[in-house]
Amino acid sequence: MRRNADLHPDDHAARVALRDHLRDLRHAHGLSQRQYADLLGVTQGAVGSFEGCPRANMMIASTQRRARVLNHRLTLTIAGLPGVPPTPETANAWALSEDPNPDIADTFYRIAIISHLRTIRLWSETTLQQLADRMGCRESAVSMAERGQDNPALSTYQRFARALGGRLDLSLQPVHEHVQS
């Protein structure tokens, strides 16, 4: 999906707050950028770039990993949209998002969120093209996102929710494990 402006200024602020919360958690765990980078399997420069980037548009999978290393889980909450019952696919993805393997859990969490957004789109009788027009992208980009065939940025899911008339709240929830060493 090509880079587009946020559909609401609160979305950028939410990503900046999330990025800053991750940095504060790193500090609270007493980890230097080098130590954090080693735990993530990235360079210290990558951590510094992430923590200092004014754009703050993180990929969901890497943000999940950053949170997990700090004993937290990225939580994406769809708000302001109708409460539509989950499809069997969505319900299955939600169940698998509790898998003990964090990589599997994170993957199915992303699938559950986008699947639920797709269900809301279909329930509201919004076509792919209508949603793409509202999001400022191509129909094929929305279709790829709905099928999980891209590595989505947080802004993609935020724009998806905004284009449907809601929002996506971003937060970090603690999990009860020890920081990796």
Find, among 142, 68, 62, 61, the residue nearest to 109 by Cα.
Answer: 61
Q: Where are the domains positioned within the chain?
A: 9-174
- Report d(CA 65, CA 67) in Å as an integer: 5
| Interhelix angle 33-40/44-52, nearest 10 degrees | 110
* pLDDT at residue number 4: 59
* pLDDT at residue number 1: 40
Q: How far is residue 116 CA from its own chain's centroid?
A: 14
Q: For residue 42, give the DSSP letter.
A: S
Find, among 76, 71, 62, the residue nearest to 11 by Cα.
Answer: 76
* pLDDT at residue number 6: 81
**Average pLDDT per block of 10 residues along the chain, 181 residues long:** 70 94 97 96 93 83 94 94 89 92 91 94 96 94 86 90 95 74 41
Find, among 80, 148, 151, 144, the residue nearest to 113 by Cα.
Answer: 148
- For 64-98, give the DSSP string: HHHHHHTTEEEEEEEESS--PPPPHHHHHHHHHTT
- For 44-58, give the DSSP string: HHHHHHHHH-SS---
